[in-house]
Structure 1
Amino acid sequence: MNVLILGSGGREHTLAHQISKSPKCEKLFVAPGNAGTLLCATNIELDIIDFKEVAKAVQANEINLLIVGPEAPLVEGIKDYFDEKEEFKNLKIIGPSKRGALLEGSKERAKEFMKTYQVPTAAYQSFSKDTLEAGKQFLSGMKPPYVLKADGLAGGKGVLILKNLSEAQHELENMLTNNKFGKASEKVVIEEFLDGIELSVFVLTDGKNYLILPNAKDYKRIGEGDTGLNTGGMGAISPVPFADEAFMKKVDEKIVRPSIDGLHKEAIDFTGFLFIGLMKVGDEPFVVEYNVRMGDPETEVVIPRIKNDLLDVLSRTAEGKIQDIQLEVDSKHAATVMMVSGGYPEAYEKDKIISGLDKVEERSDVFICHAGTKSKNDQVLTNGGRVIAVTAFGDTFQKALVKAYQNAEHIEFDKKFYRKDLGKDLV
């Protein structure tokens, strides 16, 4: 089977690394990929939002399975593009239709969907530039902290949580009238603050049946003690210690099943990953958001814990045979530490030489995952804000973190930074 993965981050390197192990994998391509995917696949330089270019690559390389890593091509309708063309009728695709992708592409749509299918979530209301004053009034009737969410895609950075009312009203105006998050904040969802602890649950579905994958907890803020600006993710652990069997049963019954049933009832073509961001409030789960692809850096701890042949699992899912799969999950804990460029998530420099990768122990319980890297003249260089994720396994998440941190120390690049407090909130 020939496989093409779209994307260039840690998520895509992890997927490629696991798929490359499958005896069913003949040729593996990643577009555009990074220096890490070069170790297990062939990189193709192309714009993944240019569907004509993607189609050319699919035809030229006789691709059987297309895996869409990031959200943007899904929201733009890449699944619909291929489905409408007769010549691609045999192409299997992991990723939902444009209608399905709206669950991530529009916070308002996601909230309406949850309300329709009685999925527990925070109370909310949506506002646009024309209803700005009503939005300010709505805020004044709420208790702090105030949660403002850009309706559209904002790279994981379109959420503000503010304690001061006048600041919240100012930022609402900033989002709606001054394009703080560009087109993504032409509409803003204001919602009730849920006081609890976050986790992520990942579901693989063919739109009717589903598998619940290992859960994870990621760390979004740049600073230790969970302070500073939001990022795409500074690290993750799996499984989540407080998500016991009883809690996960509630997640399945109150959230996953109603969500998948809702997709089926609305005849939404949804083959792929549904990532459910949750808040545990007391002993009850509430949905914070839906994503329609795997998370990053959660992929780096979730996917390596799956013992099944990943290509076989994804292929069966695309064929609508997910009910035939018996998921096997490694009982060991996984932890990943994300190393980032100095200045991230604001301005940062690229093209810094990365050294020490050869010093990391080559063993089955440590995995160096490339995120923002590129290869040039036999050197690995930085090529993004989040650069390298170091994933390690252990009998506990604490032991896995110790191992990940030990190996992260070997890797060097100018102004490298990583959080050293991961998991401390769980002890």
Structure 2
Amino acid sequence: MNILVLGSGGREHTFAYKIAQSELCDQLFVAPGNAGTDAIATNVAVAVTDFPAIKSLVLKEEITMVVVGPEDPLVQGISDFFAQDDALKDVVVIGPSKEGAQLEGSKEYAKQFLIRHDIPTAAYQSFTQANVEEGKKFLETLNAPYVLKADGLAAGKGVLILQDIEEAKKELENMLTNKKFGVASEKVVIEEFLDGIELSVFVLTDGKNYVTLPTAKDYKRIGEGDTGLNTGGMGAISPVPFADLALMDKIESNIVKPTVNGLAKENIDYKGFIFIGLIKVGDDPKVIEYNVRMGDPETEAVLPRVKTDLVKLFRHVGNQSLNTVDLEIDERSAATVMTVSGGYPEAYEKGKGISGIQEISDSIVFHAGTKIDNGHVVTNGGRVIAITSLDKDFRQALKKSYQNIEKLHFDKMYYRKDLGFDL
């Protein structure tokens, strides 16, 4: 079968890497892709939200499965676009409907869904510019730190956690009145701060059945010791060492099952990934947020541990038979370290030559922000290349990744040297 992966980051390179290994895949296309996908698939210069161009590509290349990497096309309704078009309706799309994608597209929608289905989460209220003063009063009822979340998509940067009440009020005004995050912050969710340790659980569902993929923990802050600005993610570790059987049982019965059952009960068409951002408070897991696709860089740590043929899994999603699958997982730990451009997550330069990729051994190289320029691999984003290693525990895996990163070079390259410090 001919398969299309939509996206251009490390997550999409990882999807392509796994799909290319499947005997079921005849031809693999990635739109728009990067220098890494270029080596194992055909890159096509089509934007992920250009639905008419995607349709032309799918029909021209007789593509029968589309794997949607990022959230934007899902929130804009790409699954519905395929389902409502006679020429496309038989194509298997891995990604939820527009309604399902609201779990990530709107923080308020997600909170209401959690509360409707008795899924444990933080207490919250949401506010707009019209009731910004009420928002400030609500902040006064909470204890520090204060959590402000832009309701819409803000590329992973729309969450502020502030210690000072006056600063929280000022930032609330900044988000609602001065549109700090553009349209994403026309509505802001203020919620109670949960103190604990975070982890992510990834579920693949066909709308009725589901399989739970390995857990992971990512590191969002640019600075060591989890300091500085939030990024798209500086690395990830899978599995999470503290996610023992007792915790996983609680997550499954209190969170995963009610989520999948809730989607079915509300007739929300959902065939794809649910990324559940959790926090363990004491012994109990609570939901911080939903994402409606795989995380990045968690994908680079999770998927290399999945031994089951990914295309077979996706076929089961398409025909709602995931309950017949035995998921096979590599028992080893995976550690992914992300290299980033100097200045990221603020201003940074692109087009820097990258050397040393060929010298990396015993680790997997996943390209994130790269492209081919005159036959050379150059930087093309803030997060540039992720190195993933597998070993008997996360410390050994990290050691291997760090040893291989030493071989990689580009101008002003930066990476965190302390991943796993909190484990």
**Common fold by TM > 0.5:** yes
Secondary structure at the aligned position of 1:195 is classed as coil
Aligned to 2:337: 337
2:415 to 415, 418, 422: 418
Secondary structure at the aligned position of 1:29 is classed as strand
1:407 to 404, 408, 411: 404
Secondary structure at the aligned position of 1:88 is classed as coil
CA distance in 2, matches of 1:391, 1:338: 9
Aligned to 2:389: 392
How far did 1:243 drift?
Answer: 0.4
2:371 to 374, 387, 390: 374
CA distance in 1, matches of 2:306, 2:176: 42
1:291-310 pair list within 5 angstroms: 291-310=291-310
Residue 84 of structure 1 aligns to which amino acid in structure 2? Answer: Q
CA distance in 1, matches of 2:323, 2:141: 47
Aligned to 1:316: 316
1:127-138 pair list within 5 angstroms: 127-138=127-138
1:254-273 pair list within 5 angstroms: 254-273=254-273
CA distance in 2, matches of 1:89, 1:5: 17
Aligned to 1:67: 67
Secondary structure at the aligned position of 1:137 is classed as helix
Runs of 4+ in 1 over 4 A off after TM superposition: none
How far did 1:316 drift?
Answer: 1.3
CA distance in 1, matches of 2:303, 2:309: 11
How far did 1:99 drift?
Answer: 0.2
Give the % identical residues: 62
CA distance in 1, matches of 2:108, 2:290: 11
CA distance in 2, matches of 1:21, 1:153: 33
Residue 129 of structure 2 aligns to which amino acid in structure 1? Answer: K
1:25-44 pair list within 5 angstroms: 25-44=25-44
Residues 206 and 316 of structure 2 are in contact (CA less than 8 Å); yes or no, is this contact kept in structure 1?
no
1:36-185 pair list within 5 angstroms: 36-185=36-185
Residue 393 of structure 1 aligns to which amino acid in structure 2? Answer: L
CA distance in 1, matches of 2:390, 2:52: 41
How far did 1:378 drift?
Answer: 1.3
CA distance in 2, matches of 1:31, 1:394: 32
1:212 matches 2:212: yes
Post-superposition CA distance 1:150-170 (Å, at most 9, x none): 000000000000000000000
How far did 1:196 drift?
Answer: 0.1
CA distance in 2, matches of 1:210, 1:289: 19
Post-superposition CA distance 1:224-245 (Å, at most 9, x none): 0000000000000000000001
Uncovered stretches (5+) of structure 2, i.e. residues with no partner: none
Secondary structure at the aligned position of 1:122 is classed as coil
Residues 121 and 288 of structure 2 are in contact (CA less than 8 Å); yes or no, is this contact kept in structure 1?
yes
Residue 127 of structure 1 aligns to which amino acid in structure 2? Answer: F
Q: How many pairs does the alignment contain?
A: 423
CA distance in 2, matches of 1:220, 1:206: 29
How far did 1:293 drift?
Answer: 0.1
CA distance in 2, matches of 1:59, 1:324: 31
Aligned to 1:12: 12
Secondary structure at the aligned position of 1:86 is classed as coil
How far did 1:89 drift?
Answer: 2.2
Aligned to 1:354: 354
Uncovered stretches (5+) of structure 1, i.e. residues with no partner: none
Aligned to 1:280: 280
Secondary structure at the aligned position of 1:211 is classed as strand
Secondary structure at the aligned position of 1:345 is classed as coil
CA distance in 1, matches of 2:212, 2:168: 37
Residue 304 of structure 2 aligns to which amino acid in structure 1? Answer: P
Post-superposition CA distance 1:157-192 (Å, at most 9, x none): 000000000000000000001111111000000000
Residue 198 of structure 1 aligns to which amino acid in structure 2? Answer: E
How far did 1:324 drift?
Answer: 1.1
Secondary structure at the aligned position of 1:311 is classed as helix
Residue 11 of structure 2 aligns to which amino acid in structure 1? Answer: R
User: What TM-score do you get using the length of structure 2 for normalisation?
Assistant: 1.00
CA distance in 2, matches of 1:144, 1:403: 39
Secondary structure at the aligned position of 2:4 is classed as strand
1:383 to 380, 383, 386: 380
Residue 382 of structure 1 aligns to which amino acid in structure 2? Answer: T
Secondary structure at the aligned position of 1:425 is classed as coil
Residue 29 of structure 2 aligns to which amino acid in structure 1? Answer: F
Secondary structure at the aligned position of 2:54 is classed as helix
CA distance in 2, matches of 1:272, 1:295: 13
CA distance in 1, matches of 2:27, 2:315: 15
Query: What CA RMSD, in Å, does the superposition of the two structures yield over aligned residues?
Result: 0.5
